[in-house]
Amino acid sequence: MDVREALKKRKSTRAFLDNDVSKEKVVAVLEAARHSPSGVNTQPWQVAVVTGSSKKRLQERIETAFRNGEKPQMDFQYYPLKWAEPYKSRRFACGLQLYETLGIKRQEKDRRLEQWVANYRAFDAPVMLLFFMDPGLETGSYMDYGMFMQSIMLAAMAEGLATCPQAALGEFPEIVKSELDYAADSILLGGMALGYEDTEALVNSYRTPRLSVESFTRFFE
C-alpha cells in the first residue's frame, strides 16, 4: 500500500473481530516501527504487548477502579486544562459525531458511560499495546514517541490490522505499572488497540474531518 494511501485510510477503529492476532504479526509491526526517528537516536520506546488472560486481568482492574469512582490521573498533562477555540469546538464535534453515529442521545448517560468504559478494554481488541518511557526524558521524547506510534499504525495496516491510539489507557498508571511490573516512576504515555476491524460495526462507519492544507500552512518564498 502506498504511504499516502495508508495515511488517508488509517482511522481510529473502535470495534474489532474476535480473532486472535499472531505474535508474529505483532513482531512484524514493531520490527517496521523500530526504524522510526528519534532525537540523537534516543529510541525512548518501551512497549508492553498485552493479550489473553493478562489483558483480561488488567482491563478488569482499570474498569473496576473507574466504576468505583477513582479519578483518572495520567503521568503527564495530555489535554489543556482550559479549552480555547478552535480546539474546544473540534473536541465537541468529535464527540458529537461518535454519539450521533451510535444514536446515543445527550440524556442517555448510561449509554455514554458504557461507550467510554469500552476505552479501558481497548474496545475489546485482542491486543492492547502500552507505551512507557524513562522518567528522565523530556518533551522531545514525547515527539519521538508520536512518530513511533504513527509508524506502528501504518505498519499495522500493511499486516491487515486496524488500530486506535488511546490516551485513556494511560489514565490509571499505578494499576498498569503494578499489574505489568513496570517501575513506579516510569512514564505511561497511553496505549493502542490492535486487531482486525469489524467492518460491519456502526461505530467504525464514520470519519472525522481534517483541515485543508491551506488552512494550516503559510508559504514564505
- Of 1.20.140.160, 3.10.180.10, 3.40.109.10, 1.10.3720.10, the CATH number of 3-76+120-209 is 3.40.109.10
* pTM of the predicted structure, to 2 decimals: 0.96
Along the 221 residues of the chain, how does pLDDT read in single tens digits?
Answer: 889 999 999 999 999 999 999 999 999 999 999 999 999 999 999 999 999 999 999 999 999 999 999 999 999 999 999 999 999 999 999 999 999 999 999 999 999 999 999 999 999 999 999 999 999 999 999 999 999 999 999 999 999 999 999 999 999 999 999 999 999 999 999 999 999 999 999 999 999 999 999 999 999 99
CA gap 221, 205 in Å, rounded? 41
Q: Kindly provide the residue ranges of all beta strands, DSSP E only, lying in the chain, ordered along the sequence.
A: 46-50, 127-133, 162-166, 187-195
202 by DSSP, 3-state: which? helix
- Closest alpha carbon to 192 in 127, 129, 124, 121: 129
The full set of domain ranges for the chain reads 3-76+120-209
How is residue 98 written as a grid cell? 461518535
Q: What angle, rounded to 10 degrees, do the helices at 109-117 and 52-67 form?
A: 140
Which secondary-structure segment (H or E) carries 123?
none
